[in-house]
Amino acid sequence: MLGQLFSCSVVAYAFARLKWPGRDISFGLVLSTMMLPAQVTMIPVFLIYRYLGWYDTLQPLWVGSLFGSAFFIFLLRQFMRTIPGDLEDAAKIDGCTFFGLYWRIILPLMKPALAAVAIFSFMNAWNEFMGPLIYLNDQRLYPLSLGLYQFRIEHAADYGMLMAASALMIIPVVIIFFLAQKHFIQGVQLTGMKG
């Protein structure tokens, strides 16, 4: 989740605030990756991870998030474009660098969008089923989603135990949502303001 937040916000900052040749074409290429379904790249990505020796390890489940997600980059870029450029101009006059602008000006103003990205990326990682099913063979490395599936196979008729395990799996998601709910409300208030 942290890798997703950092990489997507840095790339979105480069697309929204920095001027460089080929920026719009590169952004179009990033967006075009959303049109490619994950099922198309499943076998080539598996072969790459196997070649790297990462099969039956946890690396395939988290290394990919360090490179960002096209949807989150788009979401953060659009939010960054609503931040007034006068704030950046004032910081540049005071001698702030590009990374200083990103760290001191842009990131604090992006809390609502970052909260949304954090919740979505946590939910994606928490509920991910296909990735662990493909890349993991050792049951000790199974995440809860795959463990719950394995539990259902072994105890198919014991519905009480299955519902208790499902309820335990939902608890962290509910806690994360209630912790970030304030930022969602703040984001709704910011988008409703005029002027």
Domains and CATH numbers, the chain: 2-192 (1.10.3720.10)
**Gap between the Cα atoms of 96 and 88, Å rounded:** 9
pTM of the model: 0.83
What's the confidence (pLDDT) of residue 154?
A: 83
What's the confidence (pLDDT) of residue 182?
A: 78
* pLDDT beneath 70: ranges in the chain: 184-195
Q: Residue 187: which of 121, 124, 114 has the closest Cα? A: 114
Q: How many angstroms separate the Cα of 42 from the Cα of each of 73, 123, 124, 135, 179?
A: 22, 20, 17, 11, 34
What's the confidence (pLDDT) of residue 140?
A: 86
What's the confidence (pLDDT) of residue 67?
A: 87
What's the confidence (pLDDT) of residue 66?
A: 87
Q: Is 9 exposed, middle or buried (0-12, 13-18, 19+ CB in 10 A)?
A: buried
Contact 76, 8 (CB under 8 A): yes
